[in-house]
Amino acid sequence: MKSVVESNRKSSLIPKPTTTTVTKHDTNLKGTTAPTIKKVPLSITNNNIRKSTTMLSSKRKNNEKDPARSIRPRVDTGLRRSSSSSTSTASNKATNKKTTIVSKKPLSRAPPKDLRTKISDMEDARHANEAKIAELSKDWKELEDTVANKETESREVSQRLVELQTMREVEERTHGDEMEILKSQHLQQNRTLEEINTNLLGKLTDMQNEASTMKQRTQNASKQHQIAQSENIALQETISRTSASFIELEAELMSTKSQHEMTDKKLTERQHYIDELKQEIQGTNAELKELETQLLGGEKMRRKLHNTIQELKGNIRVFCRVRPPLESEKSREGNLAQIRYYGEDGEKLELTETHCSTLGKKTTKSHPFSFDKVFAPETTQEECFEEISQLVQSALDGYNVCIFAYGQTGSGKTYTMQGPSGPTSQSSGMIPRAVQQIYEVTQKLSERGWTYTMEGQFLEIYNETVHDLLGDTSNYGKVKHDIRHEKNGKTTVTDMTTVILDSPSKVNMMLRKASQNRATGATNLNERSSRSHSVFMLRLTGNNATTNERSSGVLNLIDLAGSERLALSGSTGDRLRETQAINKSLSCLGDVIHALANNKEGGHVPFRNSKLTYLLQNSLGGNSKTLMFVNISPLSEHFGETICSLRFATKVNSCRIGTAKKLRV
């Protein structure tokens, strides 16, 4: 009885190991699948050990209290026996170890034992179970390590199989492609060899035909040789006859040689005559060049006399320049206005306007105009400057000279006065050309004892406010610049930046800075429209140490902002205010021109109505040589603005401002 209870107790205390099920999958050539391992959790019956110990301690206490109860101890062997048998069965399957299965027998009453002996037996059993549990845990860990190693090896083998399968497929594809290439090359070589064979057969046939042809020619040649021999005999007879006639021809040749010698003498005489004619032609060309030089000098004299006549008349000279159309403007039919240029000196132009009535009847109206000079679209910057070079020279001579450009926006005023943004020697404007001419003339005059200083200022009138274009733009509106007219005819503007222009390169730097600081904006009429009037003032002071002479002149080159109609320009916001200020100042300029044209003595001329007219007071009011460029657009859509500009220029041309006098130093 005791042995059965102890065996049941020991079997119930053995831990239930985890059952590992390894499932292997079939592998094929494309890859292998790692074996799947299912783990059943190992339940070690530590709780059962604790429960048994607790029950034994409680029983010991009860037996001490009641000795009668200790005679027959209660042992629940049935339940333990079933759990012990199931646990031992699972353990036997996992560890492949043999255990002794105790058969069920009817319980017989054992002789009573001492409780302490039982407890010690149970503790011994517990120690034995713990040793078995440790041994089983160690075996379990070894089994897990073995399974992990096998899993790793299985994965490596599977990966290697996949790689080998991939390499095999790549090799098969590569070999297949190479076989296809070799097959195609083989077919191509076969076709090439067949073509070569066909060509060789054809050549062989041709050579056979040529051989037969050559045989035929040889036979014909032999026949012709026989014929030639007979002809040779006949020729020998002919030569004997010809030798006689040769003697006769030799006599004729002697007479021909004598005639040839006489012809050579005549040719020599004629060659001498030709050389004399060439010398006469060279003399004539020299005279022609001298006459052309005289003609150019006469043209310069004519221009100078014309300028003198205009100065004596006292009128404001007006030059008209028509802007050349752009390539995009030429492509549209009917986009260009009809303009005719005529006159002996190219001083007239006529614009033709076509009207179509509601009934479809077309009528034409012509508008003729005459100025001091008219420049067609093909006129270059150099040709324009030649006409004003005498005025620039007058500034060196000590006169107040003013040249300003007027016209609608986009008509080429800024291009005429300053040139393009990247100027060249052909496209530079009137301002750099004027400074270049003055610089060259002063270099020549230095040989005669003259020394000149050139001071340049550049300002703009923006919304009736004077700005210094050579100063700091952050000071715009903070520094007030006043316009002052002195009694000797000089006009000055206070607090302006003055640049000493001792080389043409400084002029280009000054123009670039002024162009960057000048106010421009985009409108519907011009994408880069000037929104202010710009004024370049060049003061020239000369001193001759030999004769103690002094001279002082001023050259004002003005680029007026373009007039524009608000309905066409589409200006809003700042552009609207700028347009209103521009149109107001140009309207005030028109009022001044109207007052000067009426020429009433003592009449009021409203110079102070705008900053622009007040700045031009000395240029328009008397002691100045003044010239206006009126720039017009060649487009038919700007016909109305063009007519207005030309009419205004005609009125300016009729103004008499008196004869200019030299400025007093």
**pLDDT by residue (tens digit) across 68-114?**
444 344 434 333 443 344 444 444 444 444 333 334 444 445 455 58
Residue 170 backbone zone (phi > 0: left; psi -120 to 50: alpha; other: beta): alpha
Question: Picking from 36-40, 55-59, 338-342, 587-591, which range would have the lowest pLDDT averaged per residue?
Answer: 36-40
Q: What are phi and psi of 22, to 5 degrees?
A: -100, 120
The ranges of the chain annotated as CATH 3.40.850.10 are 379-620+645-651
Q: For residue 414, say whether it is annotated as part of any ligand binding site.
A: yes
| H-type alpha helices, 314-364 | 327-330
CA nearest to 477, candidates 459, 469, 465, 492: 465
Q: What is the mean pLDDT of residues 342-348?
A: 86
Based on the number of CB atoms within 10 Å of its own CB, is 490 exposed (0-12), middle (13-18) or buried (19 or more)?
middle
Tokens (6 digits) for 624: 């100045």
Q: How far apart are CA 10 and CA 52, in angstroms?
A: 11
Please give the Cα distance from 659 to 665 (Å, whole number).
19
In whole angstroms, give the CA distance from residue 574 to residue 30. Answer: 79
pLDDT at site 46: 45
Q: Range with the lowest mean pLDDT among 96-110, 247-261, 424-438, 537-551?
A: 96-110
Contacts of 480 (CB under 8 A, 6+ apart): 494, 495
Residue 437, annotated as binding a ligand: no
Q: Tell me the β-bridge partners of 365.
A: 353
C-alpha 150/C-alpha 161 separation (Å) is 16
Architecture of the domain spanning 379-620+645-651: 3-Layer(aba) Sandwich (3.40)
Residue 357 marked ligand-binding: no
413 is in an annotated binding site: yes
- 409 known ligand binder: yes
For residue 564, name the pLDDT band (cuts at 50, 70, 90). low
Pairing of strands 317-322, 373-375: parallel
| 528/514 Cα distance (integer angstroms) | 15
Average pLDDT, the chain: 77
> Binding site annotation covers 293?
no
pLDDT digits (tens, 9 = 90+) for 1-41: 444 334 444 444 444 444 333 333 443 333 444 444 344 34
Window from 221-235, 382-396, 481-495, 592-606 with minimum mean pLDDT:
592-606
Q: Looking at the whole model, is its pTM more than 0.75?
A: no
Q: By percentage, how much of the chain surpasses pLDDT 70? A: 75
pLDDT digits (tens, 9 = 90+) for 398-456: 888 889 899 888 888 889 988 887 778 888 899 889 888 888 888 888 888 889 999 99
| Residue 430 parent element (H or E) | helix 430-445
